[in-house]
Amino acid sequence: MGDVFHPPLAADAWQDDHLGPGFHARALPAVGGRTLGTLVRHLPELDPDRGAGRSTGTAAHTGTDPRRPDRPRAPGYAVLYVHGWSDYFFNRELARFVARAGGAFYAVDLRHNGRSLRAGLLPAYIEDLRDYFDELDAALAHVRAEHPDLPVVVIAHSQGGLTASLWAAERLGPRSRVGSRPHRAIAALVLNAPWLDQAGAPGARRLATPAVTALAAALGERALPIPSPGFYGRTIWAEHGGEWAVDHDWQPDPGAPIRPAWLRAVLAGQARVASGLDLPIPVLVLTSNRTLLRPRWHEDMRRADIVIDVTRAWRRVRDLGTDTTLIKVRDAVHDVFLSPPAVRARAYDELGAWLAEHGFRAGTPSAPTGTHEHP
């Protein structure tokens, strides 16, 4: 796209999104004068490429009417997607997969990220992951306004997986002061390589926390001089042999500068997971089958997670709740759904089967014309 800052969006109407036909965006309303995020929506009936990408299997759980394959079924559930650190939503294939699997797809670009990055804001910066709860609440409210009777599946990646887990635990927990009907619609959580713990030995996070806390108190939002090799972009970007054309202002590699107050927020969130979240909903965790952390580039990095230590994530799955499923996708990269075609095909098959097993399917056949508000 070439512009660091997205043109201002209205909070009271959908507008065409740069992802093309069938994708719309709107600003989420500010809370207390603070800029919040951006909500993106996919309407498959307006997407000429809605059939592109992976199939989900039989018509019984896809988004088409078996008697009229040209007519989409009404969605039987909604999906809210949350991106990772220093990232934004751009994966049209994921949205189209959800539509074919019978869901209505939405994604949020969190504050200081992607479409929500504004002049004067530090990219990807946050001092408390709970601050993101405001825009997740607002995004959920919009989804529920358009689909008041549908359950919501939250799909979240990396740091977004950590944030979404904390949000769901707080909003669905027994001591929640929110307790509103919209939050009871959160019916399942799908975590794509969630950043649930730090790499290294089991005690690495606990050992690092005092030092990071001291740095945060002294330096706050000042950037730390920590070099990054920038290998992740080489595993997925089109110009490096991958498939994905992204806006490099919104998904840089190296990512946004490391700031101690942000890192303190991440460690605090991971400590909360380690204490046990007791999520009362089913949780699916998808990761690569291995991590490869090296100081120099190696072609095997195209077939491994080179961002988080997946073994640490596996150990934390049991801390999420009692109804959890862990699937290790062989040769997947950090974002499992950006892996090479054959690899992510397996990941989509696993996701589709899990959704169907848990009752997330298309609804009744929809009318020939949509009832959504179009821009």
Give the strand order in the sheet containing 23-27. Answer: 15-16, 23-27, 38-42, 103-109, 77-82, 152-157, 186-192, 283-288, 324-329
**pLDDT the model gives residue 310:** 98
DSSP state of 261: H
**pLDDT the model gives residue 222:** 93
Q: Would you say residue 375 lies in a domain?
A: no
Beta bridge mates, 41 = 24, 106
How many domains is the chain built from?
1
Q: Would you say residue 189 lies in a domain?
A: yes
The CATH number for 299's domain is: 3.40.50.1820
Percentage of residues of the chain with pLDDT beyond 90 = 65
CB of 40 closer than 8 Å to CB of 24: yes
CB of 233 closer than 8 Å to CB of 253: yes
Q: Would you say residue 80 lies in a domain?
A: yes
Phi/psi at 225 (5° precision): -80, 65
Cα 78 from chain centre:
14
Chain segment 82-94, per-residue pLDDT in tens: 999 999 999 999 9
**pLDDT the model gives residue 52:** 73
Chain segment 93-134, per-residue pLDDT in tens: 999 999 999 999 999 999 999 999 888 889 999 999 999 999
Q: Which two tokens stand for residue 375?
A: 């821009």
Q: Would you say residue 374 lies in a domain?
A: no
Pairing of β 77-82 and β 152-157? parallel
Residue 372, pLDDT > 50, answer no
Measured between alpha carbons, how far is residue 205 from residues 198, 210, 234, 317 in Å?
6, 9, 28, 16
CB burial of 94-121 (b: ≥16 within 10 Å; e: otherwise) equals: bbbbbbbbbbbbbbbbbbbbbbbbeeee
Q: Which two tokens stand for residue 94?
A: 């994921």
Percentage of residues of the chain with pLDDT beyond 70 = 86
Q: Would you say residue 136 lies in a domain?
A: yes
Q: Would you say residue 192 lies in a domain?
A: yes
CB of 258 closer than 8 Å to CB of 122: no
Mean pLDDT to the nearest integer, 268-281: 97
Mean of the per-residue pLDDT values of the chain? 87
**pLDDT the model gives residue 241:** 81
Chain segment 289-334, per-residue pLDDT in tens: 999 999 899 999 999 999 999 999 999 999 999 999 999 999 999 9
Residue 191: Cβ-neighbour burial (10 angstroms; 0-12, 13-18, 19+):
buried
Q: Would you say residue 176 lies in a domain?
A: yes
Q: Would you say residue 367 lies in a domain?
A: no
DSSP structure string for 127-156 = S-GGGGHHHHHHHHHHHHHHSTTS-EEEEE
What is the domain extent for residue 242?
A: 15-357
Q: Bigger pLDDT: 179 or 300?
A: 300
Instruction: Give the span between the Cα atoms of 258 and 123, in whole angstroms.
Output: 10
Residue 196, pLDDT > 60, answer yes
